[in-house]
């Protein structure tokens, strides 16, 4: 059975022809950003194992284990490695200022994958960190994913990748799903965090969207999005 990811869904929405040509919907993380992501995941994993809340020093310990050996391997100078460590430390402290690091948001798991059958495809989604929101009486699952893309609230609310990921972790029992995008772009000093919560009614709308897109992919309904053609270099020159 063929597989689909939330990014595949987003890419098809952007331009079916771009999906056919295996384009990219997001910019890959830099080396520094990828180590930041690994550190956040490892820090949260350690918090789960010790049944404690996350604190900056937990991240710092995980960072030192992950960053310096990798930096040495890449021949990054001590000076640059130290400067990047200071930059990372600021982001760790910033993360711990948010409610998601407190007891009201216990971590249920890290680096979690969820899959479900959609038509003739298997939709496979990833959650860097999975939490439970105890601050509300509504049953709410919280998905945290790290990226290097700053998204406004409306952008995240209607982002096909975020919506497909949220649906992949939806249990279908009237629960809510909160999706949090944490922008760890190394060019900015602090984190940029955006969160949206999807209700059961919105989940039903997302389900329809995903099945509609999967049907197009299954039937190989590939067509250009002419609004993108002038600035997109994935296809040969497209003339209307």
CATH number of the structural domain spanning residue 144:
3.90.320
Residue 64 lies inside a defined structural domain of this protein: yes
**Block residue for tokens 């890449």:** 74
Helix, coil or strand: residue 178: strand
Q: Report residue 24 as tokens.
A: 């990219």
Q: What percent of the chain has pLDDT over 70?
A: 98
pLDDT at 237: 57
Separation of alpha carbons 169 and 172, rounded Å: 9
* pLDDT(238) > 60: no
In the chain, the number of structural domains is 1
Residue 236 lies inside a defined structural domain of this protein: no
pTM: 0.93
pLDDT at 191: 97
What mean pLDDT is reported for the chain?
Answer: 93
pLDDT, one tens digit per residue, over 115-130 is: 999 999 999 999 999 9
Range of the domain at 77: 2-218
Residue 226 lies inside a defined structural domain of this protein: no
pLDDT at 240: 43
* pLDDT(89) > 50: yes
Residue 122 lies inside a defined structural domain of this protein: yes
Where are the alpha helices (H) located in 181-240, listed in sequence order? 200-218, 226-229
Residue 230 lies inside a defined structural domain of this protein: no
Q: Do the strands 121-132 and 107-118 form a parallel or antiparallel pair, or are they unpaired? A: antiparallel
pLDDT band at 236 (very low <50, low <70, confident <90, very high): low
Of the listed ranges 41-50, 98-107, 164-173, 227-236, the one predicted with least confidence: 227-236
Contacts of residue 149, Cβ cutoff 8 Å, sequence gap at least 6: 26, 27, 181, 183, 185
* pLDDT(140) > 50: yes
Closest CA to 126 of 107, 109, 112: 112
pLDDT at 87: 97
Residue 237 lies inside a defined structural domain of this protein: no
Residue 173 lies inside a defined structural domain of this protein: yes
End-to-end Cα spacing for the chain: 36
Residue 229 lies inside a defined structural domain of this protein: no
Q: What are the distances in angstroms from CA 63 to CA 82, 106, 145, 172?
A: 12, 21, 18, 37
Separation of alpha carbons 121 and 142, rounded Å: 25
């Amino acid at each position: 059975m063929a597989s689909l990811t939330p990014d595949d869904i987003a890419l098809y929405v952007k331009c079916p022809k771009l999906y056919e040509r295996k384009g990219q919907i997001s910019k890959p993380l830099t080396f520094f950003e990828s180590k930041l992501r690994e550190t956040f995941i490892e820090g949260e994993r350690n918090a789960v194992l010790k049944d404690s809340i996350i604190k900056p020093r937990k991240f710092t310990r995980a960072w030192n284990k992950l960053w310096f050996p990798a930096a040495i391997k890449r021949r990054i100078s001590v000076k640059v490695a130290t400067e990047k460590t200071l930059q990372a430390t600021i982001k760790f402290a910033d993360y711990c200022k948010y409610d998601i690091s407190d007891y009201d948001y216990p971590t249920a798991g890290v680096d979690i994958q969820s899959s479900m059958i959609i038509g003739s495809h298997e939709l496979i989604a990833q959650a860097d960190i999975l939490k439970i929101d105890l601050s509300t009486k509504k049953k709410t699952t919280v998905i945290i994913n790290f990226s290097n893309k700053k998204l406004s609230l409306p952008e995240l609310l209607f982002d096909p990748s975020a919506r497909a990921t949220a649906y992949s972790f939806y249990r279908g029992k009237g629960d809510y799903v909160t999706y949090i995008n944490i922008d760890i772009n190394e060019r900015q000093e602090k984190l940029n965090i955006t969160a949206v919560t999807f209700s059961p009614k919105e989940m039903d709308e997302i389900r329809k969207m995903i099945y509609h897109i999967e049907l197009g992919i299954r039937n190989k309904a590939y067509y250009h999005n002419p609004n993108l053609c002038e600035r997109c270099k994935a296809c040969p020159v497209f003339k209307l």
